[in-house]
Structure 1
Amino acid sequence: MDDLNDIGGDGIGGRARMCLLNMCGLPGAGKSTIARALAAHLNDNGTKRDGINIRVSVVSFDDIEKQLAMQSSSSPSPQHQEDAEGRSGGGHPTVTTGSSANLVYDAALWRAARKEAFSRLTALLTEDDEDKEGKRWERAAQAEEATEEGMIGSDTNTGTSDGYRGVRGRRYHLVIADDNFYYASMRYQVHQLARRVSAAHVQLYVEVALETAHLRNALRIGTDRVPRDALDRMAAAMEPPNLPTSRLFERTRTAVVVAAVAGDNDTAAVAVSAWERVYALWGVPPPIPATEEEREAQRLAGSAANATNAVHALDIRSRKVLSECMTAPGMAATTDPKERGRASRDLNAARKAMLDAVREAG
C-alpha cells in the first residue's frame, strides 16, 4: 500500500482529506460487523502513515432509528427493514407492541431517523479538523445551504463510533455510513453529500447469498430480526452497485467483499481486505456539476469550435475543387492565358465569399 505524501491543498497523496464510505447490502450480510471491525483495525493498526493520522467514525442508521423510537415510546425499532414498494425513500417497520408479529411501518420515524443520520454524517465531515486555506468556512457555507434544504440537523455523539473524538489536528477522516442502501437513489444521496462537503466517496458492497442472510437473520434476537418475507422483498428490490448497468457515479467507487461466515478471525480478515480496497478507491472528491451558465458557455464554445473546424474543412475542400477546375481538360485547352487567369480570380473570389458567408452564419 502506498504512503500518504503531502501534495498541498485540502488533499494529499492524491486523496481528499475526508472520505465518506457507505456500506451496502442485505440485512444479515454483515455490514455493521465489518464496519466495526474496519474501524477497530484502523484504530489498532492503520491510523498512522508518515506521521499522519486517519480518524474513523461510524454512523449507524439502525442505532439512530432505535434511539428515536425509544424516545417516542418504550419499545425500540427493529433492524432496518425496507418496504419494497417505496423506491423514493422506502420505509422500515417500527415496533409498537414488542412482538415481531406486530410490526407497524412508521414513515415519519423512518424519515426522521434518516434525516438525523445525514445530520451526523454532515457534522463529522464539516467539523474543524486542522483547517487549511479557509476550507472550513467553505464547508460551513455548504453545510448551511444543505440545512436550508432540510438535510442537516444538530450534531450529536449518539450513534457514532469515533476513536478520536475531540482530538484536533487529525489530517484524515474516514466516516462510515452504516445502512442497507440497497437502492441506487439512496446511495446517490450519499454521493451528493460527499460532493457538497468536498469529501471522497467510496462504497463497500457486502455480497451475501440470500439463504446465508436468512440463516444469520434467524440468529438475531427479538425485534432485530427482519421478517423473512420482508428480507425476500428487499433481495428482489436490491440494486447492486457493482453491475455494468450501475449508475455512472458508482462504477469507479465500489469495492466488493464477501461476508465472513465462520467467526471473528474471518471477520477481521474481511475487514483488512475491505480496508485495502477502500484505500485504493479513496481519491479526490466527486466533481461539482457545472452550472447552467457554465453549460451554456461550454455549448457555445463547442459550437464555435465546430464552426471553425467546418470552415477550415470547407476551405481546404474548395481550394482542391478550384485547382481541379483550373486543370480540367476544357480549361487547359484554352489558349488565352488572360482568360484562364480571369476565370481563376473569379472562382477564387466566389470561394472566399462562400467561406465568409459560412463564417457569418456560424
Structure 2
Amino acid sequence: MNPAEDAKGTDAERPRKLGLCLLCGLPGAGKSTFARVLGHWLRQERGWAVGVLSYDDLLPDEFLDSAGEQPPTSQWKMFRQELLKYLECFLMALINGCQMSAPSNKTEAMWEDFITCLKDQDLIISAALEAQPFYLLAKTAVSRPLVLVLDDNFYYQSMRYEVYQLARKYSLGFCQLFLDCPLETCLQRNGQRPQAVPTEIIRLMGRKIERPNPEKNAWEHNSLIIGSPAHSSEANLEVADLLLTALENPVKYVEDNIEQKETDRIICSANIFHKADQTLRRIVSETMKEAKDEQVLPNNLKLLAEELNKLKAEILEDLRQGKLCFQQTTGISDVISFFCNEKDNIVQKYFSKQHQH
C-alpha cells in the first residue's frame, strides 16, 4: 500500500485527523510560495486534504488605503479576529459533520473571499436555498486527514496564541512553521511585488518579530524553523513529520491546567497593557487640544503635558509590574477611570491658573 492510500483510510478505521498549522515569518520570506508547494506535496504524496488560508488574499481591498498601506492596528486586529470566527464556523461543520452557514455579523467581501478560498481547494460546495445560502462539506474534506495552513506574518506570539486557543477549544492538532529569511532578502523580494509593503514596516517587524520559543512556551513545542532553501525534499519530509505528530497528538483542553492559565494571564496582561497605552495616549492628546482651545498659556501647556505624560508613564509602569491587577472581563476600564480622575485634578489646576490671568 502506498502512503497516499494508507493516509486516506475511512472514518470507521481511525479517529478523524484535523490540524491547524501556522506559517509565519516576515513579508517576502517566501511563505505563500512555500504554502503552495507544501500543499501540493501533501496532497500528492500523502493523500491529505489541505486548505491554505492566506491572510493577504482574504483581506478586502477596502481595508487598504490609497497608498497600499495596512489599516490601523485596531482595525487590523478586528479583521484577524473576524477571520478566526469564519474559520471556527468551518471547524464546527467539520467536527459536527453538518452544513456550514454564514455568521450573523460578517464583512461581506471578506466572507465571500473565505468561501471562494475553501471552494477552490475542494473543501466545501454550495447548496442553493431560497433565503439563506449554506455550504456542504466536500468529500475531500471529510474523507482524509485535513491540515489547514494559516499563512500570515504572525510576528507577535499573542497573534499565534489566538489560533492555539482555537485548536485547544476543539482538540485539534497544532504546529508552527517559521520561515527564517534574511531581512535584506525579504526587502529585495518585497520591492519586486506589485503591491509592496512599506520598507519601514518590514524593518519594524524585523525588530519586533517573536520567533517560536518552545523552551519558554510549552504550547509552542510543535514548532519548526525553516531556513533557505525552504522547498527541498528534506524540508518537505521534516514538515510532514511535524504535521503528522500534530495530527496524532491533538491539543487537549484541561480545565485546571495551571501552566495554561498562567500563559493566558500573561497574554491577557500584554493585551490590556497595549490597550491602556493606546487609550491613555488618546486621552492626553484630547486633553491638550482642549487646553489649547481654552487658551492656556504656552508655558503652562508645556507643564501640563509634562505632568500628564508623567502620570501616564507611572500608571503604565505599575500595570506592567503587576501592581495594578484587573480581570479580563473588566478590561482596562478601571485603569482609565483612575487615570481620568487624576488627570482632572491636574487639568483643573492649570485651567484655574488661566482664569486667574
TM-score, normalised with respect to structure 2: 0.55
1:186–1:232 Cα change, 3 Å: same
- Equivalent runs, 1:1-362 vs 2, <5 Å: 12=15, 17-47=17-47, 54-65=48-59, 68-69=60-61, 72=62, 94=64, 96-97=65-66, 99=67, 103=69, 105-107=71-73, 109-128=75-94, 136=96, 156-160=114-118, 162-166=121-125, 167-168=138-139, 169-221=142-194, 223=195, 225-242=196-213, 244-245=215-216, 247-250=217-220, 252-260=221-229, 266=231, 270-291=235-256
CA contact (8 A) 1:204 1:278 kept: no
2:160, 2:14 → 1: CA distance? 23
SS of equivalent to 2:77: helix
Deviation at 1:279, TM superposition (A): 2.5
RCO higher in structure (CA 8 A, sep ≥6) = 1
Q: Deviations over 1:89-117 (max 9, x none)?
A: xxxxx3x22x35xx363446423431332
CA contact (8 A) 2:9 2:144 kept: no
Identity in percent: 26
CA contact (8 A) 1:125 1:175 kept: no
1:104–1:282 Cα change, 3 Å: closer
Higher helix share: 2
2:123, 2:146 → 1: CA distance? 10
CA contact (8 A) 1:191 1:201 kept: yes
1:25, 1:231 → 2: CA distance? 11
Structural RMSD (CA): 3.8
Deviation at 1:45, TM superposition (A): 2.4
CA contact (8 A) 1:23 1:178 kept: yes
2:116, 2:234 → 1: CA distance? 28
Where does structure 2 lack aligned partners over 5 or more consecutive residues?
Answer: 126-137, 261-357
Bigger CA drift: 158-167 or 112-121? Answer: 158-167
Q: Deviations over 1:285-324 (max 9, x none)?
A: 21213259xx9xxxxxxxxxxxxxxxxxxxxxxxxxxxxx
TM-score, normalised with respect to structure 1: 0.55
1:186, 1:11 → 2: CA distance? 32
1:268–1:113 Cα change, 3 Å: farther
SS of equivalent to 2:143: coil
Where does structure 1 lack aligned partners over 5 or more consecutive residues?
Answer: 48-53, 78-93, 129-134, 296-362
1:165, 1:5 → 2: CA distance? 18
Aligned residues: 235
2:156, 2:13 → 1: CA distance? 31
